[in-house]
Amino acid sequence: MFDEIVHAPNRLRICAFLAVVREAEFGTLRDELGVADSVMSKHLKVLADAGYVKVTKPRGSGRVRTWAALTRAGRKAYEDHLWYLQALAADAARGPGGSTGANSGG
């Protein structure tokens, strides 16, 4: 299904990034997107709230730093979304049934 949580450009980039690195610091993500702290924080919150990323704040080693990682659901949502977009084309071919208003023959 279409997932507007991951569809938002910046969140899509966050997901894409995390899909590869598996885990990243708050500052790294923020820098990667080129957005303000507040923006990053809010997006991360949205993703975390949706259960797509897991945010951890490991202490002990100096300052508190926030790490983010895709959850299983998050990875699936991201990959499904990409798949969905591709499927759109194929789905559209079946949807209309092929007559009124649609001309696939050119």
Partner DNA sequence: CCGTTGCTTTCCATGACGGAAAGACTATCG
Partner DNA sequence: CGATAGTCTTTCCGTCATGGAAAGCAACGG
Residue from the set 2, 45, 49, 51 that interacts with a second copy by CB under 8 A: 2
Cα torsion through 41, 43, 47, 50, rounded to 10 = 100
Residue from the set 19, 21, 46, 69 that interacts with DNA by CB under 7 A: 46
**Residue 67: closest CA among 50, 49, 54, 80:** 54
Residue from the set 36, 49, 72, 96 that interacts with a second copy by CB under 8 A: 96
For residue 102, what are the CA distances in angstroms to 84, 93, 95, 105? 22, 10, 10, 9
Q: Does 100 interact with DNA (rule: CB under 7 A)?
A: no
Determine the length of the chain: 106
Q: Residue 87 and residue 4: Cα distance in Å, rounded?
A: 16
Where along the sequence are the contacts to DNA (CB under 7 A)? 8-11, 25-27, 34-46, 55, 57, 59-60, 62-66
Where along the sequence are the contacts to a second copy (CB under 8 A)? 2, 4, 7, 9, 12-13, 16-17, 19-25, 27-29, 32, 69, 82, 85-86, 88-93, 95-96, 100-104, 106
